[in-house]
Amino acid sequence: MSFDKLHVVSFFILNYACFMEALRKMFLLLLFRIITKKKGCSSGL
């Protein structure tokens, strides 16, 4: 029973970590777009 509980908890932790990583990437991409818009596309990448 305790092993089953541990498995569920570890699964949730892994999913949470993946979700947070995806959220962080999305946030950085959004931030990058805002910064490039402010600078202007003339500066380029």
Q: Regarding predicted confidence, which is higher, 45 or 6? A: 6
pLDDT of amino acid 1: 56
Using the predicted structure, report yes or no on whether residue 19 has a pLDDT greater than 90.
Answer: yes
Mean pLDDT, the chain, whole residue set:
85
At 24-42, the pLDDT tens digits run 999 999 999 998 887 766 6
43: CB partners within 8 A, 6+ apart: 36
Q: How far apart are CA 12 and CA 41, in angstroms?
A: 41
pTM over 0.75: no
Burial 8-37 (b: 16+ CB within 10 A, else e): eeeeeeeeeeeeeeeeeeeeeeeeeeeeee
What does the pLDDT average to over 1-25? 89
